[in-house]
Amino acid sequence: MKKTTFHRFPIDNSAILYLALIRKDHTNTYRFTMKLTETVCPETLQKAVDQIYLRFPTIVGGFHFGFFRSYQVPVEAPPQVQPDPGCLITMSREEIRRCAFRIYYRDRNIIMEAFHALTDGYGAIACFTTLIAEYLRLKHGIHIPVCETLVDLEQSPSLRELEDAYLQYEEGKPLHLPSRYAYQLPGGNAERNAIYEHTVRIPADKVLAAARTYGVSITALIGTAMASAIMEMQHRNPSGSAKPVRIMVPVDLRRMFPSGTFRNFILYVLPTLEPEEACRPLTERIHHFAKQVQSQLDPKRLASIMSYNVKAQRAWYFRMIPLSLKLAFMRLAYRFFGESNSSITFTNLGNMALPEVMIPYVKDIRLTMTPRARSPYNCGMMSYNGNFTLNICRFPQESRLEKIFTEKLDAVLNGEE
């Protein structure tokens, strides 16, 4: 691909929050791990990175911190592949400035890590699958056709891929959502030197059959199991009056608002399980959860939330505030009105569809997400080759949520409490 000069890109509406939440011991980072059927060759992997990094200038890059605002800045040279340290590690502010994107290798695994301010799951998957495809092309000489999750390296990045899609939908009537305190899982002050993972693999046909039986989405189905497990934890460890359990579910806005951007373009829905609802029959809980998800996915509602967020960011008085004060204010506001508004984040990236020629080389793929700053857990799920892989990630060594969740999940999938 011919080199195209990109200087900098104004950050999108999601990125400014992720930048505000940077701490010495925590950044909103995620990793994709793809397990191949053969040992990874580091030299070939580096050649693949060299070939693809210019194609994704808004992903393979870092952030410039000015006096009033921040910018995404593409890297000058390709990042160097490194041996995998073994777990997702917090990025330092200097790393985020230079290159908030990493490529690791270990045995048969290729790993991509990214700071969430760079891109969401859609952009990350496009970049990662393109990297794997180029690696396989260099290693085995195979031709891999371009598809929805794989870009053409012969073409330069399009304006559509580089756009801040939030700005295309700012004309709606602004809607500000009120905050409500939700139950917080214990262990928020745990040591941050390692992230522990509990992986649950479920046959896709079993999940799909259960979703069809209840007539709900997979996100609502698994989300109900997670909410029920967290409510059970609260009942086992009471501290004051019982609080609602709210699941923060990221929504890919491209499903409702046409966009091909590789930058962040997500909002969240917040289905809730109230304490008094915990004793209701399982079927009622699942249907109530699904109705909440569906109602919050109303395009007019999402457009209004986008409009509120963008108008606030673009207001003249906000732009005139020095960046350091802006980030401090947002950090404080998020502490009291953001993360406390939900109990856990549950990300479902859906099915990973690879070109047929790649499938014999790829055994598995999974998503790992950094637990939130003041909550010890996070959860990501995706499916590939007939299986759903769900990863519960946590800071503390003591495993408490995982066992209860597995019990609730079995009940949901088998239709019995």
- What tokens were used for 289? 């959860």
Check if the beta carbon of residue 154 is closer than 8 Å to that of residue 357.
no
Instruction: Calculate the alpha carbon distances from 16 to 257, 289, 292 in Å.
Output: 21, 30, 28
Instruction: Calculate the alpha carbon distances from 191 to 163, 281, 360, 392 in Å.
Output: 38, 38, 40, 17
pLDDT in tens, 188-242: 665 666 788 899 999 999 999 999 999 999 999 999 999 999 999 999 887 778 9
In sequence order, what are the residues at sequence separation of 6 or more whose Cβ sits closer than 8 angstroms to the Cβ of residue 267? 250, 251, 253, 302, 305, 306
- What tokens were used for 14? 């999601």
pTM: 0.93
CA–CA distance, 117 with 370 (Å, rounded to integer):
13
pLDDT in tens, 57-74: 999 999 998 888 889 999
In sequence order, what are the residues at sequence separation of 6 or more whose Cβ sits closer than 8 angstroms to the Cβ of residue 332? none
| 72 beta partners | 9, 63
pLDDT-derived band at 284 (thresholds 50, 70, 90) equals very high
Question: What distance lies between CA 297 and its chain's CA centroid?
Answer: 18
Q: Side-chain half-sphere of 346: how many Cα atoms within 13 Å?
A: 26
